[in-house]
């Protein structure tokens, strides 16, 4: 039933344009007189004048429009005949007493509008109606259709000779009652437009349902194929476990058994899902298709994720079974070489290195145990082999570090002496004998740490050796760094003290100059003008003397006898005191500045 309805809609839509195109007569030339309104002579005369420089007037007469709207019928004729913008269709329906002027030429519409405005008329369709009423209808009322046609042709050809029109649109048509002035119409008929709109909507809906349904069915089919692919992958994964089943034990056996059970359960679930998805919903059941696709997608994603995890576990087992034997062989091969290195280190240094020897013994035991597990429990053997490889790498590093730290221990007295010399030179250069920090205490602590280094080095406890050596380096570095910081502070303090001395000297000189200027001013100004200035200068001088008196104290603070490396701030207020103008004083003539 659904398919029949869809086919009916599609055939209906294909049939509708032909239905409206029916009844259009075939074109017989410039004049097609289906209603026999013209004699042969009249038709020939009209054809002779119909073609002009700008336009060709096509004439069609019919007996009746059979209920069709004249404007729509004229447009159908215009389109069916394949007329161009140069063509103007003059349609005359004798039975309906209707005349229609149809064209697709904005320029011609502009000329008609200009003519109508000159006559005091309206524009566009009303202008065409007015022209038909003026040049065609008077003849048609008298039955002289040939005269009306000739009158219209002559008027249309007259357009464009002089003046210019204003285009009003791409296509224009006008109509009037040939028996009396009547209404005009333009554009396709409402019935046809409604039918086309409904047809397009139905066609769009049908096509949407059809293509969407087919697309979703295709997606569902693709997902079912992917599900079948997962079933094949699960079977292959299960088959890859067969070489291990019944042989492996321990950790590997537990993994194989768990993977096998989960894969078997997944195979059952996938098979059941395939059976439930054997039939798809019809293509027009869009919601059902979407729901089925979404559910299948979620299920397929979950199955795929689970299967990938199981495949990774199988890969771990396979890699362990394939590689662990080679790893054990390499451990066995390198063990004698490590023993030779240990014996060489013992011989060269004279140290027992018993802890490294014990590590080598443990390494050999772990390697032997991994070799025993390799056949029946490759996972456990691989874990043990990994630990053995780490221990082997650590032993190799320890053996290399024995020589390094032995040299460090032997060379430490020289390093300590060099650090002591560096510190002593800094103290002597910058007079830091009484500084508060104690770099030599750090040197003593480093020396004490060095004394404890030999015992763990002899036993081969290299972790403890590295820790002690790192502390020694830190103590030596801190001792030199703290001395350098004190030297830098002393340099900065001395530089600042020189700045203070030079500043006070300049201020004293400036004060003496101001005293001289005041003495000179007494010969030109009254005493009450100079007294406030002299008072300010005396106040500033007092402050200057107080500041100068603090300099020895600052020198004492920064001296080596005190060992205080931080110089206090000094208030520079004297110059600003010199610049203040005394309250209530007036400006003295000829004085620009006093400081």
Residues 487, 513, single domain; the answer is no
Tell whether 351 is covered by a domain.
no
**Of 351, 379, 560, nearest to 453 (Cα)?**
351
Average pLDDT of the residues of the chain: 82
Both tokens of 156, joined, read: 């249309």
**Of 362, 361, 385, nearest to 373 (Cα)?**
385
Checking if the pLDDT of 453 tops 50, the result is yes
Who wins on pLDDT, 386 or 562? 386
Last residue of a domain, one of 298, 323, 348: 323
Last residue of a domain, one of 492, 526, 541: 492
Q: Which long-range contacts (CB under 8 A, 24 or more apart) does 449-454 make?
A: 449/475, 450/409, 450/412, 450/416, 453/405, 453/409, 454/409
Residues 145, 249, single domain; the answer is no
Residues 454, 549, single domain; the answer is no
Range of the domain at 513: 495-579
pLDDT value of residue 386: 94
Residues 228, 273, single domain; the answer is yes
Measured CA to CA, the distance from residue 396 to residue 151 in angstroms comes to: 119
DSSP code per residue over 164-223: ------S-EEEEEESSS------SS-HHHHHHHHHHHHHHHHHHHHHHHHHHHHHHHHHH
Both tokens of 217, joined, read: 């069915």
Q: How many domains does the chain have?
A: 4
How large is the average pLDDT for residues 288-317?
Answer: 89
Measured CA to CA, the distance from residue 232 to residue 43 in angstroms comes to: 84
How large is the average pLDDT for residues 164-186?
Answer: 42
Residue 454: CA count within 13 A, CB half-sphere: 10
Tell whether 42 is covered by a domain.
yes
**Position 84 confidence tier, pLDDT thresholds 50, 70, 90:** very high
Both tokens of 194, joined, read: 């409604």
**pLDDT tens, position by position, 551-564:** 676 666 666 554 44
Residues 178, 105, single domain; the answer is yes
**pLDDT tens, position by position, 108-137:** 998 999 898 888 888 888 889 999 999 999
Measured CA to CA, the distance from residue 453 to residue 570 in angstroms comes to: 51
Measured CA to CA, the distance from residue 257 to residue 253 in angstroms comes to: 6
**pLDDT tens, position by position, 461-520:** 999 999 999 999 999 999 999 999 999 988 888 888 788 777 777 887 887 888 888 888
Residues 31, 121, single domain; the answer is yes
Measured CA to CA, the distance from residue 373 to residue 382 in angstroms comes to: 9
Tell whether 397 is covered by a domain.
no
Q: How many CB atoms lie within 10 A of CB 545?
A: 13
Find the CATH number of the domain harbouring 111.
3.10.310.50
pLDDT value of residue 559: 63
Who wins on pLDDT, 10 or 301? 301
pLDDT value of residue 299: 87
Tell whether 371 is covered by a domain.
no
Tell whether 456 is covered by a domain.
yes
Tell whether 25 is covered by a domain.
yes
Residues 256, 167, single domain; the answer is no
Checking if the pLDDT of 584 tops 60, the result is no
């Amino acid at each position: 039933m659904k398919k029949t309805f869809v086919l009916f809609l599609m055939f209906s839509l294909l049939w509708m344009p032909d239905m409206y195109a029916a009844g259009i007569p075939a074109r017989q030339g410039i004049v097609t007189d289906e209603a026999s309104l013209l004699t042969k002579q009249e038709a020939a005369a009209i054809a002779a004048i119909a073609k002009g420089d700008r336009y060709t007037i096509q004439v069609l007469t019919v007996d009746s429009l059979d209920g069709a709207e004249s404007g729509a019928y004229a447009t159908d004729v215009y389109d069916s005949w394949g007329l161009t913008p140069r063509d103007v269709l003059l349609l005359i329906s004798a039975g309906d007493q209707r005349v229609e002027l149809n064209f697709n030429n904005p320029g011609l519409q502009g000329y008609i509008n200009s003519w109508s405005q000159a006559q005091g008329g309206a524009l566009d369709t009303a202008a065409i109606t007015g022209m038909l009423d003026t040049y065609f209808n008077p003849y048609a009322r008298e039955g002289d259709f040939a005269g009306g046609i000739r009158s219209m042709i002559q008027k249309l050809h007259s357009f464009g000779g002089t003046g210019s029109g204003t285009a009003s649109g791409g296509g224009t048509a006008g109509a009037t009652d040939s028996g009396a002035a009547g209404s005009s119409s333009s554009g396709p008929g409402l019935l046809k437009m409604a039918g086309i709109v409904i047809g397009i909507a139905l066609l769009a809906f049908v096509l949407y349902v059809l293509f969407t349904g087919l697309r979703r069915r295709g997606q569902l089919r693709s997902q079912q194929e992917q599900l079948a692919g997962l079933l094949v992958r699960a079977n292959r994964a299960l088959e890859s476990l067969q070489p291990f089943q019944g042989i492996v034990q321990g950790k590997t056996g537990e993994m194989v058994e768990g993977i096998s059970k989960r894969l078997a359960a997944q195979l059952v679930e996938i098979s059941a899902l395939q059976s439930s998805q054997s039939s798809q919903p019809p293509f027009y059941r869009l919601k059902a298709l979407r729901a089925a696709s979404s559910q299948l997608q979620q299920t397929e994603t979950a199955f795929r994720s689970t299967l990938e995890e199981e495949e990774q576990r199988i890969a771990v087992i396979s890699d362990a079974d394939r590689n662990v034997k080679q790893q054990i062989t390499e451990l066995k091969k390198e063990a004698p070489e490590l023993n030779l290195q240990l014996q060489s280190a013992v011989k060269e240094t004279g140290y027992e290195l018993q802890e490294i020897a014990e590590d080598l013994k443990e390494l050999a035991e772990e390697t032997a145990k991994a070799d025993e597990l390799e056949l029946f429990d490759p996972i456990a053997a691989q874990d043990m082999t990994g630990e053995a490889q780490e221990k082997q790498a650590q032993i190799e590093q320890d053996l290399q570090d024995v020589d390094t730290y032995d040299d460090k221990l032997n060379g430490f007295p020289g390093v300590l002496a060099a650090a002591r010399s560096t510190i002593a030179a800094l103290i002597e250069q910058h007079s830091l004998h009484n500084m508060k920090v104690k770099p030599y205490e750090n040197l003593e602590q480093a020396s004490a740490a060095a004394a404890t280094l030999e015992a763990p080095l002899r036993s081969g406890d290299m972790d403890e050796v590295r820790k002690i050596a790192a502390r020694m380096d830190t103590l030596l570095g801190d001792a030199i760094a703290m001395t350098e910081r004190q030297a830098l502070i002393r340099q900065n303090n001395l530089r600042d003290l020189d700045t203070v001395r030079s500043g006070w000297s300049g201020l004293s000189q400036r004060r003496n100059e101001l005293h001289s200027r005041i003495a000179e001013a007494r010969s030109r100004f009254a005493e009450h003008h100079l007294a406030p200035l002299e008072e300010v200068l005396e106040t500033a001088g007092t402050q200057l003397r107080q500041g100068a008196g603090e300099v020895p104290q600052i020198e004492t603070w920064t001296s080596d006898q005190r060992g205080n490396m931080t110089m206090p701030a000094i208030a520079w207020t004297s110059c600003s005191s010199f610049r203040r103008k005394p309250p209530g004083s007036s400006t003295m003539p000829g004085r620009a500045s006093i400081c």
